[in-house]
Each structure stands twice: as structure tokens, then as C-alpha cells.
Structure 1
Amino acid sequence: MSDPRIRVASDEDWPAIWPFFDATVQAGETYAFPTDLTIETGRGWWMERPPGETVVLEEELPEEGSRILGSAKMGPNRPAHGDHIGTASFMVAPEARGRGVGRALGEHVVQWHRDHGFRGIQFNAVVETNTAAVQLWRSLGFEIVGTVPGAFRSPTHGYVGLHVMFLPLV
């Protein structure tokens, strides 16, 4: 990647996020989002408002400007008495997979939660067949604290488990 940077996403970034968001949702292998989302309704599923935040990782291209290669959203996992534990979701453009985009976004999200005083990060639903994600989160210190068997219906693998993963920050 040439000159990647992570910054807070703006509403103007959504049209650049939408193609890989939609492709990921339509593939049906990693998120249980509705598959009938439009560019407008999808925005509400991804663009976090405070106290959460959505970020993008963009790459500067010498003659083309910049392009967004991935995005993450983060914030409290639950409101009120559960708001000390964070959560996050990630999407990487298909053409950018395997280039370190997910790791850079993951490291950013962990630091964001530390900087905002969270006591831990809980991923509620990591599809067990998404082995690249499971491996990445484990390499960042997350542990699988439980698996709900058959909780996700994968178009490729059938009914598979959803891992709950946790990283303590204190």
C-alpha cells in the first residue's frame, strides 16, 4: 500500500464504501445484514454516530488522488450499564484483501477503544468459517469465549457457528 491512512469517515465517503459493503453483504459469508439494502438504507447499518465512529483506510495514488480500501465502525457494545465494553465491525474491499488493511483497521480500533476508556472489546458474531478474521483477531489478542453452534447460515458452508470473541483492555 502506498501512503495508507486511517481517518474518520464522512457522509461523502459513503458512495465509495457502498460497493464493497454491498458486495460483502451480498456474499452472505460474514454478516447477517439484510440483503435487500439500498445505498441509502445501507448507510444506517454502517455509518456510526457518536459515541461510536466509522473510519476509512485510504490509499493515496500519485495521479488518481485517493481511494478507500476498507472501513471499520466501532463504539459501545451495549448502552447504559454495558457501555464500558466496545465492539467493532470491519469490511475490506475485495481488491485490497491480503494487503494488511484489516490488520491496520484492527490495530486502529483497539487503540481507539483504549483511548476512549473502554475496559474491553467484544465481537458478538465472528463467523467461524471466516478463518482469516478469526486468525487476525487472535493475533491481536482476542480470545474465543464461546461459540453459538449453527447460529449463522452460510450460503457455502450451511449452518455454522458464531464466535463471541473478547479482548480485555484493563
Structure 2
Amino acid sequence: MTIRPILIHPDPRLKKVCDPIASVTDEMKKLADDMLSTMYDAPGIGLAAPQVGILQRLIVLDCEKDDDVDPAPIVMFNPEIIHESESRSVYDEGCLSIPDQYAEVERPAEVAVRWMDRDGEIREAEFDGLWATCVQHEIDHLEGTLFIDYLKPLKRQMITRKMQKLKREMARG
């Protein structure tokens, strides 16, 4: 499995709507495996294909952060939210494409999601807590939406400027 470079905001690829995946090919399974390796290495709890420069509707997540608990990776091809609760929750969100920046984002507290699994089977599940926040955050990436898009303009601009500075520093090596 390959650790892939993660795009840092601002990058135009992070603002694009991703294409649906027609079928789960070996190439797509390899991409999913690479994304899981990349996510765990980062370390993070979710990763969307556009974050590694692939404009396809694929996300991976694993919100089991406790060392005593076995990893519980989920791979979702073409995920879509089919129901969201009226109740809301607020989490201090971060993003691997916006390193070391966090902000409170309000989202539905529970969601039901439909997706295609690695075997091409259609699955549905309900998520709550951190899992609900994470799956919504990752699906947002497939629509070209970042968590900072939910923030007030001034805070969003401040974070974007920090990321531009970080990218300049990284480019200088």
C-alpha cells in the first residue's frame, strides 16, 4: 500500500464536484487501500479521494481512536446521505488538507448513508456522534466543500492565509 501526498488548501482540486464511480475495479480498490494507509499515517479519521488529487466519489473513514479497540475502517464508493436528523451537534473539526486548524461546525447529529462497498454491494447504515460528523465532512469533500466553508468569512480567510503561508514554506523545503 502506498502513502499518497495529501493536497493542502487552497488547491482548485479541493473545490471540484467529484464524478461518480461506475464500478468497483481493482484500481479503485487499490486507491481505497492507499487512502486508508494515507489516513492512518497522517493520522486522521477520514479521507476523501479529492484530498489525494483523485476527483472520484470515494471516501474512507475510521473513527475508532481508542488503542484498546480494533480499527473499524469503512470504504464508501458513491456515498450519499439519505436522511439526516433534525437534532444538531457541534464538533471541533479539523482536516488533513488544512493541517493544525480547527473550528466548531454544526451539522445534523445523526445521518443515514447509502453507498457501494468494496464488493459493489449497496449498503445503508445510520451514524451518530463522531462517525456522523466524519461521514458528513468527507461527503462534503466530494461536493467541493471544506469545513471552513461553514465559517464566517473573516475566520475562513485567516485560515486560508495560514495555509498559503504553510504551502510557501513547504515549497521552499
- Asked if these proteins are the same fold (TM beyond 0.5), I'd say no
Under a length normalisation based on structure 1, what TM-score does the superposition of the two structures give?
0.26
Greater relative CO, 1 or 2 (CA 8 Å, sep 6+): 2
Structure with more of its chain in strand, by fraction = 1
TM-score w.r.t. structure 2 length?
Answer: 0.25
